[in-house]
Amino acid sequence: MYYENIFGWFNNGQKKTYDLFVALCKDDKEYNILEIGCFLGKSSMYLAEKIKESNKNITLHCVDYFHIRDNWPKNKQQKKELLDKYGEDLLPQFNEHISNLDVKNIVIPYKMSSDEALNYFIELNKKFDFIFIDGGHDYEIVNNDIIKSLQVLKERGTIAGDDYFTSRPNEQVQKAVHENFDDKKITFINNESWIVKT
């Protein structure tokens, strides 16, 4: 698939979660999926291609800074290689992937922080059927993303996220997840993604 040639991080838990999102969508209804944290679009293009193949009426909304920042990526060599290849602004490369896959009718990018985007959606009263959180991994960011995502999640919607088992230090993603959801409602996919059906 096209996504395999895009640099980035995309584990099997996230892949299976995205497969589930598409599978849960019915053929005769309209759906909106929100992805928080996209980077160059590896996971986004996987999901976009799955949506395209399904012929279902699903729009994918992708939120990211789309920008190389002073403190990210933390790996200096990786950061240098990305700057040399793409420059600081990653959105043109993300848009190129959209064009190459011919999914302009499916994918809408938002170049802003998760907080800015969620505030924007709240103000618009925009609602999503599925939300996947994979932006910042600090407790404060994840907690804010969850709290505000729940305000734009449809009733009986599904919210999920990454890095539950890998966030360091002090399991910050875990802390945010357990503060916002009943433990009995939290399930895991491939011991990588957490997921809650509301």
Res 165: pLDDT: 82
Q: Once rounded to an integer, what is the mean pLDDT over residues 65-80? A: 82
Full set of structural domains in the chain with CATH? 2-197 (3.40.50.150)
Backbone angles phi, psi at 9, to 5 degrees: -120, 125
Question: Any idea which residue has 């980077």 for tokens?
Answer: 39
- Report the predicted TM-score, pTM, of the whole model to 2 decimal places: 0.95
Helices then strands, each counted (H, E), the chain: 7, 7
**Confidence class of residue 68 from pLDDT cuts 50, 70 and 90?**
confident
With H, G, I as helix, E, B as strand and everything else as coil, classify residue 68.
Answer: coil
Mean pLDDT across 146-174: 89
Interval 114-132: pLDDT, tens: 999 999 999 999 999 999 9
List pLDDT tens digits, range 37-51: 999 999 999 999 999
pLDDT, one tens digit per residue, over 130-149 is: 999 999 888 999 999 999 99
Does residue 92 have a cis peptide bond before it, meaning omega lies within 30 degrees of 0? no
Pairwise CA distance, residues 43 & 46, whole Å: 5
Beta strands across the sheet bearing 128-133: 107-111, 57-64, 30-36, 128-133, 153-161, 193-197, 187-189
